[in-house]
Structure 1
Amino acid sequence: MDAAPFDPTEAERLTPEQERYFQASQWRIIWWRFRRHRVAVWSAVILAVFYLCVPFAEPIAPYDPNERDADHLFAPPQRPRVLHEGALRAPFVYPIRAELDMTTFQWMYVVDRTRPQPIRFVCLGEPYTLWGLVEGRLHLVCPPRDGTMFLAGTDRLGRDVFSGLVHGARISLTVGLVGVTVSIVLGMLFGGLAGYFGGLVDGAIMRLIEILRSLPELPLWMALSAALPVTWSPLWIYFGITIILGLLDWPGLARAVRSKLLSLREEDYARAAVLMGAKPSRIIGRHLLPGFSSHIIASATLSIPAMILGETALSFLNLGLQRPAISWGVLLNEAQDITVVTIYPWLMAPVIPIVIVVLAFNFLGDGLRDAADPYKS
């Protein structure tokens, strides 16, 4: 037994950590929970690195992705090295020389291990126009002087695959962001109307959602993409595909928004806003949707990988973007022939960033969903 006098206020006194938690905003609490999800945090870091290629693809890529090198058709990857004859050196590559095998009529490449060629970093290389506005020649990494550096090999026309991967990230990664923006706007609009008004409006919107959900997704993507005029520029084709992906992805989010608003509209604060004369648009936009914003963010994060895979599939099937526009799906189009894949497996290199990005988005979405769940501590 404690002989000290009993203080009734001592039991109600909070620790500094408890006070900090109870005084924090909703977004700060979500951030604290998200930091505990290590896989999601690392996924966010990986995605941040990939998205650096979007604005800075030209200085990162050592070559122009559409530049052809007739002397290096189907060249294998040149692996960067730091050891030459047992001695440690600055990063370098061994030069390669093409020879035509007259028996199989295949290009064979001989590696010259007697002449290591140093890789240049932060150097002046091929000229480019950043975003079509700024002329420049500064590259993060450049091939050796009077040498080549094909980190992921070349394709049938001698185009550098690694430079294509860097430039392809610009389209493949942004198509998911633009498409999910269209999906969020439509999902919040139709889901908010169905959940708030109910009745006939709810019934009409739900029937429309059921019709869209009953249609097979990939054939519908293919049909709408094939309907795009062939005379359109690559930029308009890009926007057309993103809008198609966004228009077909909003029903899932709209159903989630509807179900949540059906319960939130009966809350006291929503009824108080109605009695005070607030318009339905203000009630939905300022009172109901903010309480649901964390789930919307998590759902959008999980929708982006599906749109990236959708664009990749359409471009792979020649129904999406085509050269000179570059995406990971356009690069995979070079690997349609199984014979080419077995002989030149580096043409399957775009599969690696696609898998990494899709997994990273899924892990990030799981982390955000757990962090935004009010029933998780």
Structure 2
Amino acid sequence: MGQYSTDDVAPRELGHDPDDPALAEMEDDGTEADGRLMGLERAGAWRLAWWKFKRHKLAVASGILVLLIYFVAAFAEFLAPAAPGDYAARYTYAPPQTLRIWDGEEFGLHVTGYKVEVNPESLAREFVNDPEQKIPVGFFVRGSSYEFWGLFEWDRHLFGPLDPDQPMYLLGADRLGRDMLSRIIYGTRISMTVGLVGVALSLFFGILLGGLSGYYGGHVDNVIQRIIEFLLAIPTIPLWMGLAAAIPPTLPPVQVYFMITIILSLVGWTGLARVVRGRFLAMRNEDFVTAARLDGASEVGLILRHMLPSFASHIIAAVTLAIPVMILSETALSFLGIGLRPPVVSWGVLLQEAQNIRTVATAPWLLLPGMAVVITVLALNFLGDGLRDAADPYSK
């Protein structure tokens, strides 16, 4: 038998892709190749997952977009040109304006004003852009006052008309003359945080009940699994609709918000609980678990310090994929009028304005909150796919 050397083993047998550009660079530079290969072999699970995630370009771009969306949610008051309740009845269903930097004579950020004309066919009064009216737009302008994170009162906005009394509707206005762009920005906070809070509750119940089911087994496992099967057997949408319809209409908006998040998380924990149960069943007899138990580790410490961290990356991926489901569920309930209600502003509440086909034909920009939902859900799904692939130790 000849001498065995790792130099004779193909890179794919070592767990590396021979087409990987990183390995190609190693072949060009023999001095650093051994060091880099040793770095790959010694890297921890989190670092390897991060390297694999960076190779998923669509997931990286989606992650950046998701961070920007949550940035908008965090600073909605400052980023929105107006408050969500500000209205001007004379600009009902005003069409979107175009932001311009050149008016034919000089540079300057501005929008054109409106003038009313009568449609010769329908004889209806319609808004049209009036190029003779120039409304200057600036940054860090004064506008409606607001409480910034409840800490202090401020009246500065990122951008807006220099004269607050002049109209600026970059995405049009609704039936009360309220700025759609500002309302969509404010709706981002509610819709995105409903997903986070709902998933946090689902994560808590899923890990707790799934962990108990997989760790102890026996009668505990049977009881928890029968509860999960019972909840999964109930149609989700009718269950949510029934529970949401039971919320008293006189409750304050904050209490309605938390009630909706609890309703959304009642069924959302079942899928994660089954995943956690399967992992616990596979790991409870592993050597490292036995060693920790013999070392005197408590059951809580064994679960939290040894078992959960071993598949934390899978939980992160599952949570990322669960947030879009929560957002869509809240949007559907609010659209049907049994979820969040005005004066709360969410994407689902805004889409209630688009229930009438005649209204949509008159003002199609009322569907723009739906575009925000589609973009956010796609970004979260792509991000979740990238995290799931990066967390899978068997994926290439």
Give the TM bin, normalised by the shorter chain: over 0.9
Distance 1:355 1:375 in 2: 31
SS at 1:42's partner residue? helix
1:234 equivalent to 2:253? Answer: yes
Shift in Å at residue 105 of structure 1? 6.8
Query: How many equivalent residue pairs?
Result: 371
Distance 1:195 1:285 in 2: 14
SS at 1:65's partner residue? coil
Shift in Å at residue 19 of structure 1? 2.2
| Aligned match of 1:207 | 226
What CA deviation, in whole Å up to 9, does each residue of 1:96-139 have, x standing for no partner?
Answer: 12456698474401211123322111222221122333100111
Distance 2:223 2:245 in 1: 29
1:118 equivalent to 2:133? Answer: no
> Stretches of 4+ moved more than 3 A in 1?
6-14, 98-107
Shift in Å at residue 144 of structure 1? 4.2
Match 2:99 to one of 59, 77, 80 = 80
Shift in Å at residue 239 of structure 1? 0.8
1:273 equivalent to 2:289? Answer: no
- Are the counterparts in 2 of residues 165 and 350 from structure 1 also a CA contact under 8 Å? yes
SS at 2:96's partner residue? coil
- Are the counterparts in 1 of residues 114 and 133 from structure 2 also a CA contact under 8 Å? no
Matched residue type, 1:93: V
Match 1:132 to one of 146, 150, 156 = 150
Distance 1:93 1:317 in 2: 35
Match 2:53 to one of 30, 34, 43 = 34
| Aligned match of 2:215 | 196
1:69 equivalent to 2:51? Answer: no
- Are the counterparts in 2 of residues 73 and 107 from structure 1 also a CA contact under 8 Å? no
The 1:7/1:308 distance shift into structure 2, 3 A limit, reads closer
SS at 1:119's partner residue? strand
| Aligned match of 1:51 | 70
TM-score normalised to structure 1 length: 0.93
- Are the counterparts in 2 of residues 77 and 152 from structure 1 also a CA contact under 8 Å? yes
1:343 equivalent to 2:362? Answer: yes
Distance 1:8 1:217 in 2: 58
What CA deviation, in whole Å up to 9, does each residue of 1:247-267 have, x standing for no partner?
Answer: 210000000111111111121
Distance 1:143 1:203 in 2: 63
- Are the counterparts in 1 of residues 141 and 162 from structure 2 also a CA contact under 8 Å? no
| Aligned match of 1:313 | 332
| Aligned match of 1:3 | none
State percent identity of aligned pairs: 47
TM-score normalised to structure 2 length: 0.89
Matched residue type, 1:122: F
- Are the counterparts in 2 of residues 331 and 350 from structure 1 also a CA contact under 8 Å? yes
User: By percentage of residues, which structure has more helix?
Assistant: 2
Distance 1:305 1:341 in 2: 25
| Aligned match of 1:254 | 273
SS at 2:383's partner residue? helix
Q: Which runs of 5+ in 1 are unaligned?
A: 1-5
RMSD: 2.2
| Aligned match of 2:28 | none
Match 1:155 to one of 153, 165, 174 = 174
Shift in Å at residue 243 of structure 1? 1.3
- Are the counterparts in 2 of residues 322 and 330 from structure 1 also a CA contact under 8 Å? yes
User: Pairwise mapping of residues 173-192 of structure 1 onto structure 2 (< 5 A)?
Assistant: 173-192=192-211
- Are the counterparts in 2 of residues 171 and 326 from structure 1 also a CA contact under 8 Å? yes
- Are the counterparts in 1 of residues 171 and 365 from structure 2 also a CA contact under 8 Å? yes
Distance 1:75 1:36 in 2: 45
What CA deviation, in whole Å up to 9, does each residue of 1:257-299 have, x standing for no partner?
Answer: 1111111112101122233343322222211111111100000
Shift in Å at residue 15 of structure 1? 1.2
- Are the counterparts in 1 of residues 97 and 129 from structure 2 also a CA contact under 8 Å? no
